[in-house]
Amino acid sequence: MVSMIAKAMVNNKMFMKYIALIICLLMDINAHAAEMPAIAKDHCGGCHAVEKTLYAPSLKAIAMKYRGDADAANKLTEIINRGGTSGWNSGMRMPPRGLNANDKEIKAMVEFIIELSTEDSGTK
């Protein structure tokens, strides 16, 4: 009985080491990923994620669509204010002002999206 408990403790320690390693790796990966501004999460984070498509296109995909467009900030601001699909076939319509975001939040979101468009080009 004692040997079974000792064996279980050794296996449990090894298991816990693997879990700790996985957590550390995930934390490191997330530390390098762009994070949506906190003030925009309440209004946009339910449907949009930074790197992957949820119910709506990822912010990175939106950024790439407008990459190099000198009028991107105005276009994105108009789209967020108006709502709708804006040419994305996600099957959902964004609510106007992204669930009642204020002008400061919309401006921060637009700036963040434009910043995402420069990450891969080395112009950041």
Range with lowest mean pLDDT among 1-15, 74-88, 101-115: 1-15
The CATH number covering residue 121 comes to 1.10.760.10
> Same domain, yes or no, for 11 and 68?
no
Q: SS3 string of 10-24?
A: HHHHHHHHHHHHHHH
> Same domain, yes or no, for 78 and 41?
yes
* Domain range enclosing 91: 34-124
Write phi, then psi, for 84 (nearest 5 degrees): 100, -160
> Same domain, yes or no, for 70 and 122?
yes
15-62, pLDDT tens digit by residue? 555 455 455 445 444 433 468 888 778 888 888 999 998 889 999 999
Model pLDDT, residue 111: 94
- 104/68 Cα distance (integer angstroms): 24
> Same domain, yes or no, for 67 and 7?
no
Model pLDDT, residue 28: 42
pLDDT mean across residues, the chain: 77
Segment 119-124 mean pLDDT: 53
> Same domain, yes or no, for 28 and 75?
no
> Is it the case that residue 82 has pLDDT exceeding 70?
yes
pTM over 0.75: no
Q: How many domains does the chain have?
A: 2
> Same domain, yes or no, for 50 and 4?
no
Distance of CA 56 to the CA centre of its chain: 11
